[in-house]
Amino acid sequence: MTARLAVLVSGNGTNLQAILDACANGRLDAEVVVVLSNRKAAYGLERAALAGIPTEYLPLRPFLDTGRSRRDYDAELAAVLASHRPDWVVLAGWMHLLSAPFLHNFPNRVVNLHPALPGVFPGADAISEAWEAHVAGKLDSTGVMVHLVPDDGVDNGPVVGTVEVPIVANDSRETLEARIHAAEHELLVDCLSRLIDLDARRKRPYEGPIGVHHPTDATERRTAALPEASQ
């Protein structure tokens, strides 16, 4: 069964493009059913439109300006995506942290890409922090990981796959970033393919989100054991 992917982007959408290319050439048994951005000018929306894929735009600012909270925003975000019935939600350059009102609707089904290895450089400045550590003589390699998003924490959760990116003698920050992004494209597609294959082997395709609700509680690859997908 072809997997349905919802992809969240905040910027250029190069990782989205890698997913679209992999769907088109048969590397992924999947289709992107919606691309959503929190930024109207994100070129990822244009990439989706050019490919004939439905898009959604949901900015945070109107929620905050009208006295609503980040939790309210996340609940609305979940509702918008749920209408497209995704099997997997892919954060591909998405620049908002997601809270329980979103994550509880897609248990073990939100996949994040992060330009660092597990346990180091969490957050939005991972590439800069890795480069600064290298300049200080503390680091000779960095990497990329794909992981499932847990209910709390930043850039943690069960690791699906990693790839190491060495920092070479003639690197600049810009050349390092370019090689990290190239590694991201390859790893993300590889990990999505394995997750989709895992569903197929279990013969337990995901049946969609459990229903939008608002909880009251506040290059080498390695694969970790993944939790059973919630049904």
**Which amino acids are annotated catalytic?**
114
90 - beta bridge partners? 7, 111
What torsion, rounded to 10 degrees, do the Cα atoms 210, 207, 83, 21 define? 130
Integer Cα distance of 58 and 61 in angstroms: 9
In sequence order, which residues have a C-beta less than 8 Å from that of residue 186 and are 6 or more positions away?
Answer: 18, 163
Hey, what amino acid is at 198? L
Rounded to 10°, the helix 43-50/14-25 angle is 20
CB 27 within 8 A of CB 186: no
